[in-house]
Amino acid sequence: MGDSNVTRRSGKNQLLDLYLTFAKIGATTIGGGYAMLPVLQDEIVTKRGWATESEIMDYYAIGQCTPGIIAVNTSTFIGYRKAGILGGVLATLGFVTPSIIIITIIAFFLQNFAEYPVVQHAFNGIRACVCVLILDAVLKLGKKALTDYRCVLIFVAVLAAALFTPLSPVLFVILAGVAGVILMPRKKPEKTGDEKASDAGGKEGTS
Amino acid sequence: MILLRLFWEFFKTGLFAVGGGLATLPFLYDMSARTGWFTTEEIADLLAVSESTPGAIGINMSTYAGVHTFGVIGGIIATLGLICPSIIVIIIISNVLKKFQDSKLVQKIFYGLRPASLGLIGAAGLGVAKIALLKTDVFQESGVLAQLFDWKCIILAVCIFFVYRKLKHSPIFYILAAAAVGIIFKL
């Protein structure tokens, strides 16, 4: 692998790193795209610093109202921002690799996979864990993202609407975008944006 | 040629299913009616398997349906078909956003999107909590309030919450530990 060419080697390593990291995330995302968040926060934001927490929330929001699977959209976003088109493709392929392997094995050998008692017990435990991890992530992100009462208002409205109405999340995301345009304080919009970014960056750097 | 068709069918699903894995369900029903690759009962099984395996639900479903139709290669092709539109669309959007990231309008939109995103994640977390910690089916039959709560799982969840806050560690560690506890204590 051309040890002499340091930059190329580090480029290749970065792509491999992207692929493997997202394979790890794919293997531990249990129960749909949202379950990816706690692991994403740990692996991408805390350990590797590839994205900030507010960026990840942006990606989720975009992933929600664009076509395709949210987890795939988020993987592509992070990979692409990190290492271009190849990065986006490899991050996404990494994310789906464990799924393809596991599901293929199950489809061939374990027709009644979901009915095995061992599997059911394991997943009852995992689900209890995953809901804690997701809600903990929401609490942590909330402290940083819900900076004023307008944000809290939007948060509560969307939470309630998602829990108690059968409407599509796409609609909530679009309405929230409109609400942002109407509600965002005019006084110092740029400054708050910068403050938020540097604040998040600083906290991630130290922790 | 069936491989090409498999790719195309899942490409369309990936392109039009907006809002995550469960949004692919109507497309799968439609596909089952038009192609006969799998039955509607199989879709229900598919969903059960997808929810109890690692990975995004939509990806698991496409792999499972592809393997069912055309073996290992079918599974890979179907999944590639499903993710292709995402990759293309997100790369375009990412570029557009980069160009306009200093625009006040875009900043205002994201000002609204971030809390909304968090709200949706919170709702999803509570949805998982409902399935994990409550026995709504037992409660509906018996009507006894004490039977609504799955105490073992609630205790596990509370323990995880406090240990996670105190000790940190990677979330992956807790997921594996919870699986072990689930098997040992027959949750």
pLDDT tens digits, residue range A93-118? 999 999 999 989 888 877 777 778 88
User: Three-class SS of residue A101?
Assistant: helix
The pLDDT value given to residue B158: 93
Q: Sketch the domain layout of chain B as residue ranges.
A: 2-100, 104-184
Compute CA distances B11 → A93, B27, B85, B110, B135, whole Å.
Answer: 15, 11, 7, 29, 38
Q: Do B111 and A180 touch (CB under 8 A)?
A: yes
B67 CA: distance to closest CA in chain A (Å): 6
pLDDT at A198 over 50: no
A39 located within any domain = yes
Residue of chain B whose alpha carbon sits nearest to that of A54: B114
Instruction: Tell me the residues of chain B between 79 and 138 that have a Cβ less than 8 Å away from chain A.
Output: 79, 82-83, 85-87, 89-91, 93-94, 104-105, 107-129, 131-133
How high does pLDDT run on average in chain A? Answer: 80
Chain B residue with Cα closest to A190: B104
pLDDT tens digits along B92-116: 999 998 888 788 888 888 888 888 8
**Residue A52 included in any domain:** yes
Q: What digits encode the pLDDT tens for the residues A165-177?
A: 888 778 888 899 8
Question: Token digits for A176?
Answer: 């929230």
Residue A59's domain comprises 6-143
| A170 is a domain residue | no
Calculate ∠ Cα A104-A105-A106, nearest 5°.
Answer: 90
- The shortest CB-CB distance from B175 to any of A30, A80, A107 is to A30
Distance from CA of B5 to the nearest CA of A (A): 19
Query: How far is residue A103's CA from residue B175's CA, in Å, rounded to a whole number?
Result: 19
ipTM over 0.95: no
Instruction: Answer whether residue B143 shows pLDDT above 80.
Output: no
Secondary structure, 3-state, A58-80: HHHHHHHHCEECHHHHHHHHHHH
User: Which pair of tokens denotes residue B128?
Assistant: 């998982």
| Paired strand residues for B149 | B134
Instruction: Tell me which residue in A80, A122, A168 faces B19 most closely, judged by beta carbons.
Output: A168
% of chain A exceeding 90 in pLDDT: 30
Which tokens sit at B12?
Answer: 């369309």
Tally of domains within chain A: 1
- Assess if residue A206 is contained within a domain: no
Query: What percent of chain B has a predicted confidence (pLDDT) above 90?
Result: 25
Nearest CA in chain A to B155: A128
pLDDT band at B58 (very low <50, low <70, confident <90, very high): confident
* Residue B48 in this model has a pLDDT that exceeds 70: yes
Residue A129 lies in a domain: yes
Residue A196 has pLDDT above 80, yes or no: no
At residue A78, what is the residue type?
I
Judged against a pLDDT cut of 80, whether residue B152 lies above it is answered with: yes
Indicate the DSSP class of residue B56. Answer: -
Give A3→chain B minimum CA distance, Å: 31
Mutation choice for A interface testing from B72, B111, B160, B162 by most A CBs within 10 A: B111
Residue A177 within a domain:
no
Indicate the pLDDT class of residue A143, thresholds 50, 70 and 90: confident
Helix (H, G, I), strand (E, B) or coil at B101: coil
Contact yes or no for B24/A71 (Cβ under 8 A)? no
